[in-house]
Amino acid sequence: MIRPFHTLPDIMELGLLVAKIQNGSGADREVNAAVMALFFTRESRHIGARWDDTDEPVKSDVWVNPLTDEWVSTGPREFTRSLDDILRTMREFLPGASWMIDANQGVSPGAMLRSGDDIRIRRAPTPERALLTAFLVVCDQLQRAAS
């Protein structure tokens, strides 16, 4: 069973986040951080540098992938403005999923996401937000089915 989220999110909080994504526009750091927190944990980790005077490792607050225990970034991914960041996360936590974007002029962009037999279609002001909401809804369904 696939369990994309590192913990099962509260269904009301997830619903509010999905609504905020679907109804918003443009980049949103708060939303990006909330989505990161669904998949990754925050930890203080040594990321390679050392203090000159003590040779002690420098630690930084980073996002960690709980599946690999590797740090992935110091800041949240740009989910609300980058299809690449959404697709990277989909490959990590929903391998084998297929997707399609429909961005016909005059209609809100739509995204279709298929994982196994589960297909979700969502519309939002931008293609990124449409795909992100479909991704979160599929992950939630898979997580709840596995629990």
64 pLDDT band, cuts 50/70/90, is: very high
Note the pLDDT tens digit of each residue in 15-25: 999 999 999 98
The Cα 34–Cα 118 span in angstroms is 24
Note the pLDDT tens digit of each residue in 72-130: 999 999 999 999 999 999 999 899 999 999 988 788 899 999 988 888 999 999 999 99
Instruction: Report the predicted TM-score, pTM, of the whole model to 2 decimal places.
Output: 0.88
The Cα 10–Cα 38 span in angstroms is 11
CATH class of 11-41+77-146: alpha beta
